[in-house]
Structure 1
Amino acid sequence: MKSFAQDWQTNFDKAKKIASTNNHNIVLVFQGSDWCAPCIKLDREIWSTQEFKNLAKEHFVLLQADFPKRKKNKLSTEHQQHNNALAKKYNPNGYFPYVVVLKANGETLGSIGYEKTTPELFFKKLRAFEN
Structure 2
Amino acid sequence: MKKFLLLFLLVFGTQFVQAQDLVWHTNVKEAIKISEKQKKPLMLFFTGSDWCGWCIRLQKEVLKTPEFQKWAQNNVVLVELDFPRRTPQALEIKQQNNELQQAFGIKGFPTVHFAKASTKDGKVNFVGLGSSGYLSGGPTVWLANADEIIKSKKS
Asked if Structure 1 and Structure 2 have the same fold, meaning a TM-score greater than 0.5 normalized by the shorter chain, the answer is yes
Q: Which has the higher helix share?
A: 2
Q: Is there any run of 5+ residues in structure 2 with no aligned partner, and where? A: 1-18, 119-125
Is residue 126 of structure 1 aligned with residue 130 of structure 2? no
Kept in 2, the 8 Å contact 1:102–1:110? The answer is: yes
TM score, norm. by length of structure 1? 0.89
Runs of 4 or more above 6 Å deviation: none
RCO (CA 8 Å, sep 6+): is it higher in 1 or 2? Answer: 1
Residue 103 of structure 1 deviates from its aligned partner by: 1.2
TM score, norm. by length of structure 2? 0.76
Kept in 1, the 8 Å contact 2:62–2:139? The answer is: yes
Q: Secondary structure at the match of 1:57?
A: helix
Kept in 2, the 8 Å contact 1:56–1:123? The answer is: no
Say which of 82, 98, 101 aligns to 1:84.
Answer: 98
Residue 77 of structure 1 deviates from its aligned partner by: 1.0
In the TM superposition, 1:1-131 aligns within 5 A as 6-70=22-86, 73-90=87-104, 92-105=105-118, 106-130=126-150, 131=152
Larger Rg belongs to: 2
Residue 122 of structure 1 deviates from its aligned partner by: 1.1
Q: Give the aligned length.
A: 125
Task: Tell me the distance in 2 between the aligned counterparts of 1:111 and 1:98.
Answer: 7
Cα RMSD over matched residues? Answer: 1.4
